[in-house]
């Protein structure tokens, strides 16, 4: 949207005034006073004047940007990263919607932008006081977010140029980096900033640079909505913002002046020196929670990186004593949160104080006078900005007992103030350089605060049986999912190479932090901290590349790290140490020395022979106090304490012989789990098993997040189970089951169990056993089984019925749900089953009921309904086929084929077109939030006289139960109008464990018929019904579920009213 002529004239006057004088009064840039060392003199400078029209959903502004060429080569142009111009390409809408689904966000809350929000009205070259000249500009790049400005004259080395950008930013009403949502205005990574100009030093995993490219080039980064692809220099910002006076402001830097300017508006001056970006959030809802932390100002060491020297706690204490008391400077901590979130507002003050103090001691002092956390509707859990962190509203809304997760999240984001903000990185090609470090040091901090592998949720006494998430599991479940799917890759590569955000998390966060841990393991903890503090001192206010990191490591240690970086960072390598066998030789009773000889056979089965440690546990001792270093590169060596001999057997196998005072209770290779190990369970001598009893066993108990990643998990307890889909091999019904289950679970490997319970659709009691082997025999395969025996029934039907199936599945596309099947897959199955359907009630056209079938079949599913819990768009298609024998009363060949197609379409929202008519805009907006859903299902089988299908049930014709309308052919059509009765409720129950987000009232109608021997059983029937649907989340954002209650009555048949309970939409 371009400004009107009147607005343009006013802004032109303002622009001229801004070019003639500094736009914001601020103190001079400090040298040693704040940061300890001068920042580079050539850092860019931005002076911004902006007016926020919150009611009109627009920001208008002028930015005066000064760039000094730090390189030896001149340039004829300026290039900005203008990421706020990003619009999701049509080809990426599906991926983006599924990414939002992973975040448990409805796509409509963040995918409503069709035009670039940022509009650059014009750009002027500022050539002395009062003189300016218009410049030509255009956009480049795959996402058209690279703003290229042509200059009339080249800018040589050390020379400066100043340009003024007049811009308008429309504020879309959506969640994200820039926009408005529920009273919060967010401006993050929104201003155009100078791209990096300098030599291209991309890692070897990047595509090769074009031939004959200049030594120094502009390197803008394309925008990706699912991470931060940012690569730019630090800069100094002076900002003057005008906005409504009721707004509380959370921003990068510090507000140095505030005044009321009339018309209910305020004007603030903001000063932010030496930062990577400028973020600005405001809301009248904010309440501020404050605290202060005193940061030591001592320097971490010389600004050079030489060979390591011994560093210990005693040494550091001695240095402080010799130099007198440490200088300390206060840093004000400000948490902007909603009043109802006071608990975590105050908790984050404490968390931030602890993190700022620890990281300042480890790396170097936090240099700014303020640090801010702002509650936002960002979608992600947290996001770092300069001197500010955005934390999603759903994190503030977590149960108060989930403080362990909040501590982990906030500590991670604060660490980015050192690794991203103070020390810049190439966020597009080398995400590991800041995310790997931030993740590692966050865990290092928490290990010291709360111990290793603490639980995220601290339940009250008596509720410890509820599912929990351990920090160790949370930090690796994404990694092992990526490995299981066969999508392992380099930790350092362009963001686009990861394909999607799950692989990015697995490779750069989970695997990445372990790679940092390997570096610490090689240097030693004290030397590693010393190295990192010196590295920080050298690269603050500059950009650290992975190649720089390697070179500095080599200078510091005096050894080559080339092989390490090639294996761990530029390659997909893994290690897989296992204990193949342990021999324990008890000493004879007459032996003079009572020593137990233990022989351990180790095998490294993967790509990288990384040195590790063998840990031995003895009775009555915690952990693994006996440690023996394992170096596969050495043929043989001895160890003194305890006496041990290690020798290579060839083929990555080693034999360790050790003499112990008594028989060990456990032996583990890599006991501290430092390595990126492909299979951590085989690191143990005795297979570790974790037992857990729960009085309420649900699907949440069988997930990668709520089980121990390096153990087999046994769970037992009363069981509540509900499926949101139907299996291909049994008569397609929805199952809700209440009973008892004993389950066995191992992350990304296997889950299964034995169970007994009552099923609501069949109205019977069954006992069974089920299981699924994940990623077997290869990464995208699953192989499973299920066997059931009926124990009792409350429908007239076949007593003592039994059934069983073996199936194999190939997955094309995985989903993110904890309870739905994958998005797209094909599966084959072998099944034998008795007829579990009830006897048909009042058959109008009797068919033949076969009591047994033995079949083989195929099933294909493509499910693009998004989001999966309550779709606003997309489609789902299933095709089933099975063939074999039907038996009793006679044995005949049988064939069966069926298919279902459903889709959801949101109604258009015309409310903006009549925004000036409130009485009409409101209802139109309500209608625009409703969706129409359609489904057609059909199936047929031979022999045509058989009763193979039931028309009724909770998933098909809801006006009938399973005993009505059975036949050899069936069709059902359905339509639903999913009307929003309430939205954005955020009603919390059980200390925020359960949150109700919305309520839908859904009138629906089903129509259909069944056939026997080619004749309809009875006239086509129609039902009408109403569904109540509750959109709930578990633990704020862990999972989203739609709970529904359907009531239906057939209109043209004399049958009773049916009541159904279910999980998820029926189609």
Q: In this predicted model, what pLDDT tens digit does every residue of 555-572 receive, in sequence order? A: 999 999 999 999 999 999
How much is the pLDDT for 697? 95
Which pLDDT value is given to residue 592?
Answer: 53
3-state secondary structure of 1044: strand
775 pLDDT more than 90: yes
Distance, CA of 329 to CA of 535 (rounded, Å): 23
Q: Reply yes or no on whether the pLDDT at 31 is more than 50.
A: no
Could you tell me which residues come within 8 angstroms of residue 221 by beta carbon, excluding any fewer than 6 positions away?
Answer: 81, 195, 229, 230, 231, 426, 427, 428
Mean pLDDT on 127-155: 90
Task: Tell me which residue of 999, 980, 1006 sits closest to 1058, measured CA to CA.
Answer: 1006
Alpha carbon separation from 171 to 132, 193, 243, 397 (Å, rounded): 29, 19, 14, 25
Report DSSP state, residue 1064: S
**CA–CA separation, 85 vs 117, rounded Å?**
6
pLDDT at 38: 60
Q: How confident is the model at residue 1061 (pLDDT cuts 50, 70, 90)?
A: confident
Among 178, 159, 231, 233, CA closest to 61: 178
Q: What's the rounded mean pLDDT across residues 795-813?
A: 93
Checking if the pLDDT of 18 tops 50, the result is no
pLDDT tens by residue, 599-658: 999 999 999 999 999 999 999 888 999 999 999 989 999 999 899 999 999 999 999 999
- CA nearest neighbour of 789 among 753, 833, 830: 833
pLDDT band at 321 (very low <50, low <70, confident <90, very high): very low
- pLDDT-derived band at 1005 (thresholds 50, 70, 90) equals very high
The pLDDT assigned to 10 comes to 41
Residues in the chain: 1067
Which of 428-437, 697-706, 1057-1066: highest mean pLDDT? 428-437
Model pLDDT, residue 590: 61
The predicted model gives 888-896 an average pLDDT of 93
pLDDT given for residue 984 in this prediction? 85
* Peptide bond just before 777 cis, omega within 30 deg: yes
pLDDT of residue 112: 67
Across 1032-1038, average pLDDT: 87
Structure tokens at 255: 């507000």
Give 348's contacts (C-beta < 8 A, 6+ positions apart): 289, 335, 337, 373, 391, 406, 410
Which pLDDT score, from 0 to 100, does residue 299 have? Answer: 55
When pLDDT is averaged across residues 335-356 and rounded to a whole number, the result is: 98
Query: Across residues 663-669, what is the average pLDDT?
Result: 96
Sign of the Cα torsion 99, 103, 109, 115 reads negative
Tokens 């990623």, located at residue: 775
- Condensed to tens digits (0 to 9), the pLDDT of residues 404-426 reads 999 999 999 999 999 999 999 99
The residue among 385, 373, 377 whose CA lies nearest residue 334 is 373
Phi, psi angles (nearest 5°) of residue 397: -90, 5
Higher per-residue confidence, 14 vs 712: 712
More confident residue, 316 or 1042: 1042
Residues 282-315 have pLDDT tens digits of 999 999 999 999 999 865 443 333 333 333 444 3
The average pLDDT across 667-693 equals 95
Question: pLDDT, tens digit, for every residue of 80-114?
Answer: 999 999 999 888 888 888 888 988 888 888 876 78
Token pair for 977: 């109008």
The mean of the pLDDT values for the chain is: 90
Please report the pLDDT score of residue 310 as a whole number.
Answer: 36
What average pLDDT does range 719-748 have in this prediction? 85
Instruction: Say which residue, 110 or 876, is predicted with more confidence.
Output: 876
**What gap in Å lies between CA 402 and CA 1034, rounded to an integer?**
12
- Give pLDDT, residue 484: 95
DSSP SS3 for 37: coil
């Amino acid at each position: 949207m371009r400004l009107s002529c009147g607005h343009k004239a006013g802004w032109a006057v303002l622009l001229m005034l801004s070019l003639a004088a500094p736009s914001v009064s601020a103190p001079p840039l400090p040298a040693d006073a704040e940061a300890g060392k001068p920042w580079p003199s050539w850092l860019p400078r931005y002076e911004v004047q902006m007016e926020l029209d919150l009611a009109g959903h627009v920001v208008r502004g002028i930015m005066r940007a000064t760039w000094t060429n730090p390189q030896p080569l001149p340039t004829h142009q300026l290039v900005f990263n203008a990421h706020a111009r990003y619009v999701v390409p049509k080809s990426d809408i599906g991926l983006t919607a599924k990414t939002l689904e992973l975040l448990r966000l409805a796509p409509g809350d963040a995918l409503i932008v069709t035009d670039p929000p940022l509009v650059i009205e014009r750009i002027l070259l500022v050539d002395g006081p009062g003189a300016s000249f218009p410049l030509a500009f255009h956009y480049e790049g795959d996402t058209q977010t690279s703003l290229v400005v042509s200059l009339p004259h080249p800018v040589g080395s050390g020379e400066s140029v100043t340009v003024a950008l007049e811009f308008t930013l429309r504020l879309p009403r959506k969640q994200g980096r820039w926009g408005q949502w529920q009273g919060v205005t967010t401006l993050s990574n929104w201003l155009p900033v100078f791209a990096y100009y300098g030599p291209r030093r991309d890692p070897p995993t990047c595509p090769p640079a074009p031939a004959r490219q200049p030594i120094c080039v502009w390197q803008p980064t394309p925008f990706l909505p699912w991470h931060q692809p940012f690569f730019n220099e630090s800069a100094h910002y002076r900002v003057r913002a005008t906005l409504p006076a009721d707004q509380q402001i959370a921003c990068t830097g510090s507000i140095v002046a505030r005044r009321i300017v009339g018309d209910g508006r305020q004007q603030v001056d903001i000063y932010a020196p030496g930062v990577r970006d400028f973020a600005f959030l405001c809301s009248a809802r904010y309440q501020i929670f404050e605290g202060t932390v005193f940061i030591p100002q001592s320097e971490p060491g010389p600004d050079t990186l030489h060979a390591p020297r011994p560093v210990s706690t005693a040494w550091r204490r001695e240095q402080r004593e010799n130099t007198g008391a440490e200088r300390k400077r206060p840093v004000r901590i400000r948490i902007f949160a909603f009043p109802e979130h006071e608990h975590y507002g105050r908790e984050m003050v404490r968390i931030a104080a602890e993190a700022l103090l620890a990281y300042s001691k480890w790396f170097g002092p936090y240099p700014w006078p303020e640090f801010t956390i702002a509650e936002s509707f960002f979608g992600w859990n947290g996001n770092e900005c300069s001197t500010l962190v955005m934390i999603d509203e759903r994190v503030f809304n977590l149960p108060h007992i989930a403080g362990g997760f909040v501590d982990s999240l906030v500590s991670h984001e604060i660490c980015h103030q050192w690794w991203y903000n103070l020390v810049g990185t190439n966020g597009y090609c080398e995400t590991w350089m800041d995310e790997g470090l931030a993740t590692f040091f966050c865990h290092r901090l928490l290990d010291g605060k709360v111990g290793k592998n603490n639980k995220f949720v601290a339940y009250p006494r008596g509720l410890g049986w509820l599912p929990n998430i351990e920090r160790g599991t949370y930090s690796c479940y994404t990694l092992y999912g990526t490995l299981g799917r066969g999508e392992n890759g380099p930790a350092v590569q362009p963001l686009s190479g990861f394909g999607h955000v799950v692989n990015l998390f697995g490779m750069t966060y989970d695997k990445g932090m372990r790679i940092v841990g390997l570096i610490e393991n090689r240097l030693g903890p004290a030397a590693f901290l010393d190295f990192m503090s010196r590295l920080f001192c050298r690269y603050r206010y500059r950009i650290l590349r992975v190649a720089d990191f390697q070179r500095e490591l080599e200078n510091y240690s005096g050894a080559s790290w080339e092989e390490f970086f090639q294996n761990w960072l530029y390659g997909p390598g893994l290690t897989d140490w296992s204990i193949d066998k342990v021999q324990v030789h008890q000493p004879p009773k007459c032996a003079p020395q009572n020593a137990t000889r233990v022989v351990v056979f180790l095998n490294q089965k993967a790509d990288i022979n990384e040195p590790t440690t063998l840990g031995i546990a003895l009775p009555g001792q915690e952990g693994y106090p006996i440690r023996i270093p394992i170096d596969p590169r050495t043929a043989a060596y001895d160890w003194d304490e305890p006496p041990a001999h290690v020798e290579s057997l060839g083929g990555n196998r080693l034999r360790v012989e050790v003499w112990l005072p008594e028989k060990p209770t456990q032996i583990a290779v890599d006991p501290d789990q430092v390595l990126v190990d492909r299979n951590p369970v085989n690191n143990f001598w005795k297979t570790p098993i974790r037992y857990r009893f729960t009085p309420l066993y649900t699907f949440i108990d069988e997930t990668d997040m709520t089980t121990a990643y390096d153990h087999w998990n046994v769970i037992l307890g009363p069981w509540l189970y509900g499926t949101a889909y139907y299996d291909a091999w049994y008569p397609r019904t929805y199952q809700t089951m209440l009973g008892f289950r004993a389950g066995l679970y191992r992350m990304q490997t296997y889950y299964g169990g034995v169970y007994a319970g009552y099923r609501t659709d069949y109205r019977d009691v069954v006992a069974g056993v089920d299981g699924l082997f994940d990623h077997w025999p290869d990464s995208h395969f699953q192989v499973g089984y299920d066997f059931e025996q009926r124990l009792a029934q409350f429908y007239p039907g076949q007593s003592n019925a039994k059934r069983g199936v073996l199936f194999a599945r190939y997955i094309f596309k995985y989903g993110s749900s904890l309870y739905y099947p994958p998005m797209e897959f094909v599966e084959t199955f072998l099944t034998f089953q008795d007829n579990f359907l009830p006897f048909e009630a009042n058959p109008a056209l009797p068919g033949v009921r076969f009591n047994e079938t033995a079949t083989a079949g195929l099933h294909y599913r493509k499910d693009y309904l998004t989001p999966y819990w309550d779709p606003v768009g997309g489609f789902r298609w299933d095709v089933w086929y099975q063939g074999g024998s039907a038996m009793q009363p006679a044995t005949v060949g049988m064939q069966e084929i069926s298919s279902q197609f459903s889709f959801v379409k949101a109604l258009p929202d015309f409310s903006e077109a009549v925004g000036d008519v409130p009485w009409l805009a409101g209802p139109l907006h309500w209608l625009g939030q409703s969706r129409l859903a359609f489904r057609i299902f059909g199936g047929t089988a031979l022999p045509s006289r058989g009763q193979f299908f039931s028309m009724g049930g909770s998933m098909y014709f809801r006006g009938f139960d399973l005993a009505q309308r059975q036949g050899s052919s069936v069709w059902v059509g359905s339509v639903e109008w999913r009307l929003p009765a309430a939205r954005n409720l955020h009603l919390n129950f059980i200390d925020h464990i359960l949150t109700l987000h919305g309520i839908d009232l859904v009138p629906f109608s089903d129509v259909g018929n069944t056939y026997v021997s080619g004749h309809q059983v009875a006239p086509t029937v129609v039902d009408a019904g109403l569904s109540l649907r509750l959109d709930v989340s578990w633990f704020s954002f862990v999972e989203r579920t739609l709970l529904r209650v359907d009531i239906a009555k057939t209109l043209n048949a004399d049958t009773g009213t049916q009541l159904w309970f279910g999980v998820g939409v029926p189609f």
